[in-house]
């Protein structure tokens, strides 16, 4: 294990009925003005909005609504929310939805208290704005991103054609009720679950490869995600499976799996840039990219890919060489993606802009190169990966 410092800022309320049981207690810690943030309005159709609003009203809060947060939240939407929060003197931002809503609100919370442009400050000047953010709470309705567990928010700057992470407000508290995920379209449930698996893999395939407890826990999380996704294929509304996947999502991004590790996250960087150009679904984009990416790096991380095949996919070695066994694990991952009805090719994605060879080249050469991959990527190799994924 490498040296580390671990601190966990978010209080989690988990389980059926958690909003009714716990939200009022958290609301009592903050002032009267609450910004209620959500996405396209599905929470108004599935009853979540009414339940949350009833608690807000009982607590005497002045509620300002901030809706319409898109699946890949834009920097323009961040600025809209920040302006609203400033205008209304917001004391608490309450993000109700999936990772996109929470990601957007993390950066809204920071921009709302700072006149300096957050994007310019963090990505150009390399520093956080000086003023602390507006307090943030999250009520999760779509699990998978683990966004409620940290302070990072992935935002798309449409003008610059960049989708990347900014650091904002880590939620002070998060409410995770697996029943809230029941009304989410099943394809999104599976996409979110694969995002969880991706987060776990991106950490697992990071150095060091010596014996460490973080990788042992990670293998258990990955096996849990795979097992429970398969349960949902049989019974979409299995509460136990949904509750396990919801906590798997939290575990993959609350820092525990990353203790003492350097993480990869190169596949995420590739998908982020693809998303900046196409607005594709995040989890589905990751599903299409991961197997090809791993076929490009497995030889440099051979021992870990052998361990992945045997400990996560339970593949018996037989007379296979290390390379054959590692490849069998990657093949099993790709087969699982297809089994879950997720795309194995970029051509299967639903996108707003048709994917062309020129676009793939632009995506490849504008992708952030991560320093901790087993094999350091180049724009040319990422271009090859993307073409293979088509």
**What would the pLDDT profile of 366-384 be if each residue is shown by its tens digit?**
999 999 999 999 999 999 9
Q: Considering the domain boundaries, does residue 5 fall inside one?
A: no
Q: Considering the domain boundaries, does residue 244 fall inside one?
A: yes
Answer yes or no: is pLDDT of 263 > 80: yes
105 vs 35: CA distance, rounded Å: 10
Q: Of 263, 201, 193, whose CA–CA distance to 230 is shortest?
A: 193
List the domain range (segments joined by +) for residue 25.
11-180
User: Quick one: 172 and 208 in the same domain?
Assistant: no
> For the domain that residue 96 is a member of, what is the CATH number?
3.40.50.1970
Answer yes or no: is pLDDT of 3 > 80: no
Q: What are phi and psi of 15, to 5 degrees?
A: 130, 170
Please give the pLDDT value at position 352.
86
Q: What are phi and psi of 30, to 5 degrees?
A: -125, 170
Please give the pLDDT value at position 129.
92
Task: Indicate the burial class of 277 (C-beta count within 10 angstroms; 0-12, 13-18, 19 or more).
Answer: buried
User: Quick one: 101 and 131 in the same domain?
Assistant: yes
User: Quick one: 150 and 66 in the same domain?
Assistant: yes
> At CA 261, angle to CA 255 and CA 263, rounded to 5?
85
User: Quick one: 105 and 28 in the same domain?
Assistant: yes
37 vs 93: CA distance, rounded Å: 7
User: Quick one: 16 and 139 in the same domain?
Assistant: yes
Say if CB 287 and CB 346 are below 8 A apart: no
For range 36-51, the mean pLDDT: 92
Among candidate residues 129, 156, 180, the one where a domain is terminated? 180
Please give the pLDDT value at position 1.
58
| Beta strand spans in 86-159 (E) | 92-97, 136-140, 152-157
378 vs 368: CA distance, rounded Å: 10
3-state secondary structure of 142: coil
Task: Indicate the burial class of 158 (C-beta count within 10 angstroms; 0-12, 13-18, 19 or more).
Answer: middle
User: Quick one: 175 and 191 in the same domain?
Assistant: no
291 vs 309: CA distance, rounded Å: 13
User: Quick one: 134 and 213 in the same domain?
Assistant: no
Among candidate residues 157, 180, 203, the one where a domain is terminated? 180
For range 119-126, the mean pLDDT: 95
Answer yes or no: is pLDDT of 246 > 90: yes
User: Quick one: 366 and 224 in the same domain?
Assistant: yes
Please give the pLDDT value at position 183.
84
Q: Considering the domain boundaries, does residue 226 fall inside one?
A: yes
Q: Considering the domain boundaries, does residue 1 fall inside one?
A: no
Structure tokens at 308: 């992945």
Share above pLDDT 90 across residues of the chain, in percent, rounded to a whole number: 94
177 vs 122: CA distance, rounded Å: 33
Say if CB 197 and CB 334 are below 8 A apart: no
Q: Considering the domain boundaries, does residue 43 fall inside one?
A: yes
Instruction: Give the HSE-up count for residue 267: Cα atoms under 13 Å, Cβ half-sphere.
Output: 31
User: Quick one: 170 and 238 in the same domain?
Assistant: no
**CA-CA distances (angstroms) from residue 7 to 10, 256, 257, 359?**
10, 10, 13, 41
User: Quick one: 211 and 174 in the same domain?
Assistant: no
Among candidate residues 145, 180, 215, the one where a domain is terminated? 180
Q: Considering the domain boundaries, does residue 4 fall inside one?
A: no
| pLDDT bracket for residue 4 (50, 70, 90) | low
189 vs 245: CA distance, rounded Å: 10
| pLDDT bracket for residue 208 (50, 70, 90) | confident
Q: Residues 6 or more apart from 40 whose CB is under 8 A from it? A: 67, 68, 70
User: pTM for the complete prediction?
Assistant: 0.94
Answer yes or no: is pLDDT of 7 > 80: no
Please give the pLDDT value at position 166.
96
Q: Considering the domain boundaries, does residue 322 fall inside one?
A: yes
Q: Considering the domain boundaries, does residue 232 fall inside one?
A: yes
**Order of all β-strands in the sheet with 62-66:** 11-14, 173-176, 136-140, 92-97, 33-37, 62-66
> For the domain that residue 374 is a member of, what is the CATH number?
1.20.1090.10
User: Quick one: 331 and 234 in the same domain?
Assistant: yes
Number of domains, the chain: 2
User: Quick one: 214 and 330 in the same domain?
Assistant: yes
Considering the chain, what is the average pLDDT of its residues?
Answer: 95
Chain segment 348-362, per-residue pLDDT in tens? 999 988 999 999 999
């Amino acid at each position: 294990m490498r040296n580390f410092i671990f601190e966990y800022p978010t209080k989690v309320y988990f389980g059926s009925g958690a909003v009714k049981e716990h939200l009022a207690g958290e609301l009592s810690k903050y002032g009267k003005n609450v910004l209620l943030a959500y996405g396209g309005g599905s929470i108004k159709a599935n009853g979540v909005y009414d339940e949350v609003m009833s608690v807000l009203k009982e607590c005497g809060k002045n509620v300002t609504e901030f809706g319409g947060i898109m699946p890949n939240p834009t920097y323009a939407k961040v600025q809209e929310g920040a302006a609203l929060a400033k205008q209304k003197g917001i004391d608490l931002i309450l993000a109700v939805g999936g990772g996109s809503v929470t990601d957007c609100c993390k950066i809204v919370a920071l921009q709302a208290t700072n006149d300096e442009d957050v994007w310019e400050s963090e990505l150009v000047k390399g520093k956080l704005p000086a003023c602390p953010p507006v307090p943030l709470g999250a009520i999760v309705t779509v699990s998978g991103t683990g966004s409620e567990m940290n302070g990072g928010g992935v935002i798309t700057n449409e003008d610059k054609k960049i989708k990347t992470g900014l650091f904002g407000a880590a939620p002070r508290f998060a409410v995770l009720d697996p029943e809230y995920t029941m009304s989410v379209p099943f394809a999104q449930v599976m996409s979110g679950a694969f995002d969880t698996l991706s987060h776990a893999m991106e950490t697992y395939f990071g150095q060091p490869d010596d014996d460490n407890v973080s990788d042992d826990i990670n293998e258990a999380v990955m096996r849990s995600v795979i097992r429970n996704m398969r349960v949902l294929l049989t019974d979409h509304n299995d509460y136990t499976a949904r509750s396990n996947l919801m906590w798997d999502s939290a575990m993959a991004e609350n820092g525990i799996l990353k203790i003492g590790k350097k993480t990869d996250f190169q596949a995420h960087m590739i998908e982020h840039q693809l998303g900046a150009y196409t607005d594709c679904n995040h989890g589905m984009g990751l599903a299409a990219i991961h197997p090809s990416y791993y076929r490009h790096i497995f030889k440099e991380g051979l021992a870990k890919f052998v361990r992945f095949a045997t400990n996560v996919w339970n593949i018996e070695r037989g007379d296979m060489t290390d390379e054959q066994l590692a490849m069998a694990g990657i093949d099993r991952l790709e087969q699982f993606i297809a089994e879950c009805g997720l795309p194995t090719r970029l051509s299967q994605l639903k996108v707003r802009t048709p994917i062309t060879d020129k676009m793939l080249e632009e995506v490849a050469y504008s992708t952030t190169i991560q320093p901790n991959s087993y094999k350091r990527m180049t724009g040319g190799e990422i271009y090859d990966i993307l073409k293979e994924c088509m």
